[in-house]
Structure 1
C-alpha cells in the first residue's frame, strides 16, 4: 500500500489558540509513520492529543486533539491547528499518540514526544521529526512529523464542485472490480511540501464520480495565495485500511479560474489516467466582521439556563447549580457574557430558564421557556453581573424538573429576532445545559429555520455528559437537514464542552465558544446580500 510521507493532514476543522498579541501565526499539520500496533485484536486506531505549557515548572494543559484514524499505523491527520508563534519565548508542546479503539473509551498509550514551537518552526523545511517514546519500554514506538506553515489571513471563500471521467479501475484480491473513489486536496507550502487540507466522501461503483459541491476558506485551500500549487489526488478506498492512490494533478487557483478540465496522471506510471472537471469554481471575497460593526451592526445576547433534574438539587455540593466557586453555569455566563457585552449598545440581555418549575412566578408545572425575571413582556437584565445576580436570586424559587427540550427557547429567540423590525442586529442565543436533548428532531427543524435569520446558537455543555447529540447539531462538516430534507443555509450552531476547555483557563473557554461567531455573522450577510455601509463609518 502506498502511503505518502510528506502529506500530513489538516482538514475541515482548524483550532485557534492565542493569549495575547502575537508576532505571527503558524498552522501545524501532524502525521505519524510506523506506529507500534498496541491493539491485540485488530490494528490500532491512533489519535494525537496535544498539550502545552508556559514553562517547564508548570503542569501540562490539554490544547486539543486530532480525529481518530481507524486501522492506520501511518496516519495523516485531517485536523490542523493554528497557533500563535512568539520568536522571543519558549512555547512548550507535548504530543501524546494513543490508540483509541478500546471498549469503554479507554486510551492505550503508543508513545509521546516533547518539543518547543521554536524547534518545529526552526527545523529543516519547518518539519519536526520526533521518535515516540513510552516510559518503561525500549521498543520502537514510531515517528511523529509536525509540520509548520505560515498563516496568511484573508476573508476569501472558494466554492467548488468536482467530478471526474475515466478514472483507473482497480480489482480486489478476488479479481472483482472494486471502485470506491474519493479525492483529497493538498496545498503547497513554503517548505515545498504538500499538506492535506480536505478529503471528500467516497463514491462507489463508478469511475466517473460526481461529488457534492463544497466550500473552503481561502486560507485553508491555498493559504490565501492564488498562485500556490494545489494537488488534487484520487484514491480508491478498497477497505478501511487499504487505500490505493490512483491519479493526481497539480494546479493553482488562478489556473482553475481560466480552465475547468485537467488531465490526470497515474501516481505510479505517470501516464494519462482520466480527467478532473471543475463544474463550479467561485471565489467569494467577503467583507470582514469588523467592517459590519463599523457600519453600525450590533450584537444582541440572549441566555437560556437548564433547570432539569439531572443537574442535581442546588443544595447539594455535587449539584451543577450549587452556589460555590466551581459553579459551571456562573462561569459560562461570566466568561462568555463579558466578551459579548461591549458589542451591545444597551448592554441588556433577555434571560430564560427551561426544564424547571418556576414557583417564583406562581407556576406549578414545568416550563420549557420562562423569563428568569418573571416579566414576559420585558425579560431583559442589565449586564453580565445582572444576569449572575438574577441567577442566584431566583435559584431557590425554581424546582428542577424535565425533560430537556430546546424547542421552547429557540422558538422564543426566533420571535425576538423577527420582532426587531429591520436590519442592524445580529443575535446570539447562549444555551447552557447539562444533558442530551429530548426533542432532537424538532430542534434540528428549528435550527434549519434559524439559518435564515441573523442568529447564532452557542451551546455550552456542563457536567460529565458525552453530548453526542450536541455534536450532531454543531454541523461543521455537513450542514443540517430538517425532517423534510431541507438543508440549512449555513452553520449556526457552536457546541463546546465546558470541562474540556475551562481547565486551560477562562480565556480559552470564551475563545472556543465564540470563535465561529464572526464567520457565521459574515456568512449570514453574504447569503442575504447585505454589505457594510461605508457611509456609516464616519459616525464612529
Structure 2
C-alpha cells in the first residue's frame, strides 16, 4: 500500500495430484497494517501418512470488504505437501513465496502438531489491574495474546482477546478455547500470555507477560488465579482470572517421531542382464524400469517424513569391482563411510550408476541388509526415531532361516520392513514374512509384532509392464501399515506422556 503497511490474508488450497484442480480449503483472519503477520486461525486437516496431500497457499493484501479474492492484491504463493510440513524438523517449515516475476515476495512459515484426543474445553475470563500507561493522550488499549509452547522450545500463537479501549483496568469478555489448542492435552505444557497496548498502525506496545500452564489455571483457589505481569524493569499485577472448566475426556498423545528411510535393491543375476530389454534392471531411454518405478512411487511419499532427506541406499547380491567380491550389503554410492543419497532422485542416480559398475550375481540374501538397519535402530529406542527399510526384489529368498531370525530380532526395535516384489515370481517366501496372518518365528521365538509389509508390484502396472497404473494406490498400499506398526512399537515400550490428570468419575 502507498500509505502504511499491508493487511494480510492467507488463503490455503488443497490440490488433487491427479486432477490438478484446486479447491479452497479456508482463509485466515485479516491482520491490519503489518508486513510480518502472525495468524491465529488454525486449520485442522485429516492427515493420511500413505498419501501425498498437495497444498497451495496464497497470500493477499486485503483492500476492500469484498469476499471475492480477485478484488485484492496478490502477494505471493507457495506449494508443498502436508507431509513436508509434518516431516520437517520440529514440524516447522519455512519457504519462500513466489508468483510475482522479478519480485521478492517474502517468506511463509508453517508449524504443525498432531492433535491429541483430548476433548476438554476451557471457558475463561480475565481482567487486569493497574496496567502500564502507554498512550500519550490517554491510558492504554490493552489486549492479550496467548501462546502455547512447542516441543522445540518455541511458541505458537493460539488466541487473541478483543481490545479494551482507554483503560488500565480492563475486563475482557469470556472466551472458550479447546484445551488441545492451548496445550494439545499436555496439562503441564507452558502457556505464555503477552499483554499489549493496541496501536492503529500495527506497532503494538508491549506491556508485559506471564507464563502458566493449563494445570495451574485449573488449580486456582475457588477458580481464581493471580499472575504477575513482568517486564524488564517494572512489574504490574494482573487481577484474578476466573475459569470455568468442562472436563470431558483426557488421553495421552505420542511423542513426535522422526522417520529414517533406507533403500535396499536386489542386484542378483535372476533379474537378467541389465543391457537386455528383458531385464528388470534394463535402463530404457524412454521409461523407467520396474525397480525405478517402485522406488520413485514409494520414495516420493515417504521422503516427506525424513527431515534431512538423506537416505542410506544399499544393493545386495552383486560382485563388486575391482576384485569381484560378492556383497550382500554394499552402498549404491560406493561410499562405505557415508552411504547417504540426497533425496529419492539421489537414490535413483546412485542406483543407475551401480548398474554400470557391478556384476549381477547372487544369492538373494536378505538378512545382512536387515541386520544393517537393525544395528542403527537399536541405538535409538526411546521413540524419537523410527527406521523404515524398503527392499525391492525379484525372487526367492536364499537365506530364509537367517532372514526370519533377523525379522524376529528387528521386531523388538523401532523398525519396519517394506518389501516390493517385481517380476513374475510367486513370492511365497515374501507372503510368509508378511505376518498379517501368522507372526514370523525363529528358533522358538515369535516376533513380538508384525513389522513386514509385502506388495507385489505387478498388481499396479499394465499388462505390458510399461507403466504404473496408479502410483498413488501403490504408495498407499505399501505404506498403509507403517503408522500402526510404529504405534505398536510405542505401546510395547510404553512410550509417550501419560495422561496429565486422572480421568473424571463417570
Query: TM-score, normalising length from structure 2?
Result: 0.47
Bigger Rg, which one: 2
Query: TM-score, normalising length from structure 1?
Result: 0.44
